[in-house]
């Protein structure tokens, strides 16, 4: 079953290649969506895909297995997958 997850990475997550590492890993897992830096120092994540693949991605982020920074926390919420799901996983600027 497809789901969506919108969340935020807190910690040392900007200026360390986090967005590109998230995109690479998400793409490998078949996820769609985006990642982008926010003005307050957090990184926004938006995943669309199979629930188990999103769960694995969130687990990797919580265990600091993605990127060179340090993630203190991942906060977010589960959503229904949109009818117009993105076709790819993008880094937004």
**Environment class of 57 (CB within 10 Å of its CB; exposed 0-12, middle 13-18, buried 19+):** buried
Q: What is the C-alpha to C-alpha distance for residues 39 and 29, in angstroms, rounded to an integer? A: 28
- Give residue-wise pLDDT tens across range 48-75: 999 999 999 999 999 999 999 999 999 9
- pTM, two decimals, is 0.96
pLDDT at 35: 98
What are the boundaries of each domain within the chain?
Answer: 2-76
Average pLDDT, the chain: 97
Contacts of 65 (CB under 8 A, 6+ apart): none
Active site residues: 19, 37
CATH topology of domain 2-76: Alpha-Beta Plaits (3.30.70)
State the DSSP code for 47. E
Indicate if the pLDDT at residue 1 is higher than 90. Answer: no
Contacts of 20 (CB under 8 A, 6+ apart): 91
């Amino acid at each position: 079953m497809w789901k969506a997850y919108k969340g935020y990475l807190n910690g040392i997550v900007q200026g360390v290649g986090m967005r590109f590492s998230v995109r690479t890993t998400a793409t490998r897992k078949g996820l769609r969506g985006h990642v982008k830096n926010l003005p307050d120092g957090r990184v926004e994540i938006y995943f669309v895909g199979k629930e188990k693949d999103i769960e694995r991605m969130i687990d990797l982020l919580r265990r600091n297995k993605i990127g060179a920074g340090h993630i203190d926390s991942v906060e977010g919420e589960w959503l229904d997958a949109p009818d117009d799901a993105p076709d790819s996983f993008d880094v937004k600027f």
